[in-house]
Chains A and B, each alone.
Chain A
Amino acid sequence: AQKVTQAQTEISVVEKEDVTLDCVYETRDTTYYLFWYKQPPSGELVFLIRRNSFDEQNEISGRYSWNFQKSTSSFNFTITASQVVDSAVYFCALSILTGGGNKLTFGTGTQLKVEL
């Protein structure tokens, strides 16, 4: 069975601070994908990134960066110079490809509040 743990329930920061959202996952499969989604109050899950289990290179996209470490089964997400518009719930998710398609296992989410 797969499991995703987001231990941080809620994080509050002041605008322009850097913030890191933690994600730890469990799976016995060697081939899997990891995802981060953003959920604003509207409810829609906004796709941020997908990484496969064979690519441990860190990735940077603007103010967003991701640190994937298989040795610790972690896929952490950092927002640099946070902004009020970053306030949302962020979900980490895992999928394996057995069964012929994507089935995402989500963590419980981290509520990020960015204040002025």
Chain B
Amino acid sequence: DAGVTQSPTHLIKTRGQQVTLRCSPKSGHDTVSWYQQALGQGPQFIFQYYEEEERQRGNFPDRFSGHQFPNYSSELNVNALLLGDSALYLCASGQGTGELFFGEGSRLTVL
């Protein structure tokens, strides 16, 4: 049984570019959340998707957007990248209010 899988694992972009990160949830899970973890910090909640709709959102600008597909997989899009967007982006999946399981993350470097 595969856990939460994320792609790509590492990527480098330049300021002003756009990036798309992908997440496949653990089998049986229908909720996907995204977190941003800056170096040396705890993860910060970006948003959560359920039934293909954004259900909750953290304190992130509109440059951060997402999508959930009918198969429950999800994408995180970040437009107009800033140096401060460099971080580990973690995807978590869950079922209802059960435990959240995290992937290994996508490490984004913005130059």
Residues of A at under 8 Å CB distance from B? Answer: 4, 33, 35, 37, 42-47, 50, 91, 93, 97, 99-109
Q: Say whether B74 faces chain A, with CB atoms less than 8 Å apart.
A: no
Asked whether A104 lies within 8 Å of B97 as measured between CB atoms, the reply is no
A88 and B87 CA atoms in complex are apart in Å by 18
Chain A nearest CB from B33 CB (Å) reads: 7
Residues of B at under 8 Å CB distance from A? Answer: 31, 33, 35, 40-45, 48, 50, 55-56, 58, 88, 90, 92, 94, 96-97, 99-105, 107
Chain A nearest CB from B88 CB (Å) reads: 6
Which secondary structure dominates where chain B touches chain A?
Answer: strand
Asked whether A103 lies within 8 Å of B50 as measured between CB atoms, the reply is no
Asked whether B104 lies within 8 Å of A108 as measured between CB atoms, the reply is no
Asked whether B41 lies within 8 Å of A103 as measured between CB atoms, the reply is no
Asked whether A44 lies within 8 Å of B42 as measured between CB atoms, the reply is no
Asked whether B55 lies within 8 Å of A104 as measured between CB atoms, the reply is no
A64 and B48 CA atoms in complex are apart in Å by 30
A-B contact pairs, 22 of them (CB 8 A): A35-B99, A37-B102, A43-B104, A46-B102, A47-B101, A97-B97, A99-B55, A100-B50, A100-B56, A101-B31, A101-B33, A101-B50, A101-B55, A101-B94, A101-B97, A102-B31, A102-B100, A104-B33, A104-B43, A106-B42, A106-B43, A107-B42
A104 and B92 CA atoms in complex are apart in Å by 10
Chain B nearest CB from A58 CB (Å) reads: 19
Contacts of A101 in B (CB 8 A): 31, 33, 48, 50, 55-56, 94, 96-97
